[in-house]
């Protein structure tokens, strides 16, 4: 049973002492964590491992959102993901300053100022005779570093398909404005933006896709066999790859990492049964299956 029953100013103080919301890459500590010391989340939590640390996700929908972000993370080892990212209450430097010192100079408004401009009541937390502004968070914040281009961010908020209350819309507007002030694209991701079978395929294959990274040579072998025998069953193709590299589990990792990284675009709307064929589709059609990659967002 969790030791902390609800959020309070004392809990927020503890988060700050623990250095939450600070760091990058494998040194980053999320503001909200999957731990017994945190108030429980409403959804089922997940702890997939990526690039040296566990990603702390508080719901099934965040888990699916993370799957879609991996396409961007596969693109470069310089790219970074920070989940449960805290938004600054007060005016602060741009969040890119955590990666590049030159961003320390300019200041941008915090959530208190933005809420005031929007004429929206800022969320508060109470306890032990104290009241303090609530620290808002963004579910996923991706840093993208492309060759010869300055780094950039993509901010993502994730919800289920339940109706959004008036208050929830107000809080989303604060979050959206926070990133707009920083010239950061903000996406609102719900299941309306992706095919349910794609989500199911990603959920069933993620251990092979993001764990135990394989070599480029193994991915190339998987890519070659998939193209040579496209339209064949998953079982048939895996057996071909396994015969080449000598290990069936390694074949699973090689094939699905080839697919998840975008190097082998297949129709992810397939069923789960191994005897079903793997169908190659165009790169454009494959990209459209990923709402984060193509920046598809739900309206609020």
| E strand segments, the chain | 49-50, 53-54, 80-86, 92-93, 107-108, 124-127, 130-133, 137-144, 152-158, 186-189
- pLDDT beyond 80 at 43: no
Model confidence pLDDT, tens digit, residues 64-119: 999 999 999 999 999 999 999 999 999 999 999 999 998 998 899 999 999 999 99
Calculate what percentage of the chain has a pLDDT beyond 70: 97
Q: How many residues does the chain have?
A: 300
| Average pLDDT across the chain, whole number | 94
What confidence score (pLDDT) does residue 271 get? Answer: 85
What confidence score (pLDDT) does residue 36 get? Answer: 74
The predicted model gives 189-194 an average pLDDT of: 96
- Model confidence at 272, in pLDDT bands (50, 70, 90)? confident
The contacts found for 20-28 with CB under 8 angstroms, 24 or more apart, are 20/86, 21/84, 21/85, 21/86, 23/98, 24/80, 24/82, 24/98, 24/99, 24/143, 25/51, 25/52, 25/80, 26/51, 26/52, 26/53, 28/53, 28/80, 28/82
- Model confidence at 41, in pLDDT bands (50, 70, 90)? low
β-pair type (152-158, 186-189): parallel
What confidence score (pLDDT) does residue 131 get? Answer: 94
What confidence score (pLDDT) does residue 3 get? Answer: 45
Using a cut of 0.85, tell me whether the model's pTM lies above it: yes
What confidence score (pLDDT) does residue 5 get? Answer: 59
- pLDDT beyond 60 at 225: yes
The predicted model gives 139-155 an average pLDDT of: 94
Q: How is the chain split into domains, by residue range?
A: 9-193, 196-288
What confidence score (pLDDT) does residue 4 get? Answer: 45
Which architecture does CATH list for 9-193? 3-Layer(aba) Sandwich (3.40)
């Amino acid at each position: 049973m969790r030791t902390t029953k609800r959020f309070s100013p004392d809990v927020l103080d503890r988060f700050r002492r623990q250095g939450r919301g600070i760091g990058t890459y494998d040194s980053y500590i999320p503001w909200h964590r999957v731990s017994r010391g945190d108030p429980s989340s409403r959804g089922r939590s997940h702890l997939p491992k990526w690039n040296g640390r566990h990603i702390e996700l508080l719901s099934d929908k965040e888990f699916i959102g993370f799957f879609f972000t991996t396409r961007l993370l596969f693109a470069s080892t310089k790219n970074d993901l920070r989940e449960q990212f805290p938004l600054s209450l007060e005016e602060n430097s741009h969040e890119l300053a955590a990666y590049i010192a030159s961003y320390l100079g300019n200041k941008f408004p915090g959530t208190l100022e933005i809420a005031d401009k929007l004429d929206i009541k800022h969320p508060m937390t109470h306890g032990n005779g104290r009241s303090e502004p609530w620290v808002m968070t963004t579910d996923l914040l991706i840093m993208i570093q492309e060759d010869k281009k300055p780094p950039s961010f993509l901010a993502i908020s994730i919800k289920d398909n339940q109706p959004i209350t008036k208050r929830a819309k107000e809080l989303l507007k604060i979050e959206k404005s926070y990133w707009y002030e920083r010239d950061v694209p903000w996406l609102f991701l719900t299941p309306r933006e992706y095919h349910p079978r794609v989500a199911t395929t990603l959920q069933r294959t993620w251990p092979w896709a993001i764990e135990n990274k394989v070599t480029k040579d193994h991915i190339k072998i998987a890519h070659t066999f998939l193209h040579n025998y496209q339209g064949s069953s998953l079982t048939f193709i895996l057996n071909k790859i396994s015969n080449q590299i000598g290990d069936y589990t390694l074949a699973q990792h090689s094939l699905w990492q080839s697919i998840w990284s975008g190097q082998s675009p297949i129709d992810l709307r397939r069923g789960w049964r191994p005897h079903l064929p793997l169908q190659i589709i165009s790169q454009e059609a494959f990209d459209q299956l990923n709402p984060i990659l193509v920046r598809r967002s739900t309206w609020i």
